[in-house]
Structure 1
Amino acid sequence: MALVLGAITITSCNENESYAKQLERQSESIDAFINKHKITVISESQFANQGYKTDTTKHQYVKFNNNGVYMQIVNEGSGEKLKKGETATVLCRFDETNLLTDTIQLTNRALAWDGMVDKMMVTNTSGTFTATFDASSSVMKRAYRNTMVPSGWLVPLTYINLGRIAKPDDKLAHVRLIVPSSQGHKHASDNVYACFYDITYQRGV
């Protein structure tokens, strides 16, 4: 119900605004989130110089200029990166925060969804990642009625490992993302709002 009410509110606001104004409002919401959480934005060159890592003690996020996504790698994860030419099942747990309202509007970590992870099939084609949600196992699909995986969710796959918890010291890949509407799901794109995601990635069977 909260998700539906939020969607109605956003849509009604957008109907009275130009696209340029909506983009400006989105940009302001991203800046406000960055300031509120004392995020330090680093360049892609600094990210590369740091070995493609972000310092969480300094609240670092790298901004990718080609798509506007901000990313913090909390843990690069155990296992291996998805190889070129490989297709794999990837399981995700996530929280999605709408930056316009600064509230969580979707999560599969809630008790109601405890038995469901978001499952997606991901393919690495010469370094370009494409993916679709499994319609039978996806809170994102149920909420937004679309199997398209937001492009922003695929950005970390170049830098993280995909594995499973097999030993006590194994870790799942864990990232935080600020995803502008152009890299988000259809509802975000249609209504021009950015989302913050806290996501773990695990290699499926």
Structure 2
Amino acid sequence: MAAVLSSCNDYETYGDKKEKERNAIAKFISDRSIVVISEDQFNQQGFTTDTVKNQYVKLDKSGVYMQIVRPGCGTQLQDGESTRLVARFAEYNILEDTTTICNNNPRLSYSGISVVTLPDIISVSRSGSSFTASFESGLMYKAYSSASVPSGWLVPLTYVKVGRPQSLTDECAKVRLIVPHSQGHATASSYVTPYYYELTFQRES
């Protein structure tokens, strides 16, 4: 009987898992001295976040926290436009407090292949304020065996430019994201796990 009771007590409801996720995100924010600002303040700052103050904006619709490190060069993805983006990233599991995968570190490999040779190629289209996208190739595509791009990855595309650097002074867009499970990939959704990303975007050509 005691074993049965223990088993019942160990069971986690979806609500329990969401509470654990919220607590993990709150701890991550505290541990990294992140200053969370509102969308109103973000708008008043010209859709920028102050990296010196370590500001992240919490976007109410998605629940994603975003810091724009570099706004990028060239132009934003325009309404009605489709293109292919090159993305490089590092992914960190907030619940487990560990880096899971990345393709921006030349010292690391995946299945014997240098990760820097596996940038993610994303086919993306914009219609109004909505974006649709799919992975064509790359590390995320290989690691998760899915063409689905996490919804959280698309959030920055409203705010950053995705041009390809053409000069020494040009820099590709770079963001940092805290992505709740509802905006993550299938694994994040299944296990109610939040992830942190450092992510860069630029057009393929």
Q: TM-score when scaled to structure 2?
A: 0.90
Confirm or deny that 1:42 pairs with 2:44. Answer: no
Q: Read off the aligned partner of 1:121 and give its amino acid letter.
A: S
Secondary structure of 2:52's match? Answer: helix
Residue identity over aligned pairs, in percent, reads: 45
State the partner residue of 2:25: 30
Q: Cα offset for 1:47?
A: 0.2
Q: Read off the aligned partner of 2:148 and give its amino acid letter.
A: M
Secondary structure of 1:57's match? Answer: coil
Q: Cα offset for 1:67?
A: 1.3
TM alignment of 1:124-143, pairs within 5 A: 124-134=126-136, 137-143=137-143
Which whole-Å CA distance do the structure 1 matches of 2:35 and 2:105 have between them? 29
Q: Read off the aligned partner of 1:122 and give its amino acid letter.
A: V
Which whole-Å CA distance do the structure 2 matches of 1:99 and 1:110 have between them? 20
Which whole-Å CA distance do the structure 2 matches of 1:68 and 1:106 have between them? 23
Q: Which runs of 5+ in 2 are unaligned?
A: 1-9, 107-113
Q: Cα offset for 1:138?
A: 1.6
Which whole-Å CA distance do the structure 2 matches of 1:115 and 1:101 have between them? 27
Secondary structure of 2:187's match? Answer: helix
State the partner residue of 1:199: 199
Which whole-Å CA distance do the structure 2 matches of 1:53 and 1:188 have between them? 28
Which whole-Å CA distance do the structure 1 matches of 2:189 and 2:59 have between them? 18
Which whole-Å CA distance do the structure 2 matches of 1:161 and 1:56 have between them? 18
Which whole-Å CA distance do the structure 2 matches of 1:110 and 1:164 have between them? 20
Q: Cα offset for 1:147?
A: 0.5
RMSD: 1.0
TM alignment of 1:60-79, pairs within 5 A: 60-79=55-74
State the partner residue of 2:118: 116
CA distances 1:9-53 after superposition (whole Å, capped 9, x unpaired): xxxxxx931111100111111001000000000000000000000
Q: TM-score when scaled to structure 1?
A: 0.90
Which whole-Å CA distance do the structure 2 matches of 1:179 and 1:114 have between them? 23
Q: Read off the aligned partner of 2:130 and give its amino acid letter.
A: T
Which whole-Å CA distance do the structure 2 matches of 1:184 and 1:201 have between them? 18
Secondary structure of 1:168's match? Answer: coil
Which whole-Å CA distance do the structure 2 matches of 1:148 and 1:179 have between them? 15
Q: Cα offset for 1:74?
A: 0.3
Q: Cα offset for 1:77?
A: 0.6
Which whole-Å CA distance do the structure 2 matches of 1:40 and 1:193 have between them? 22
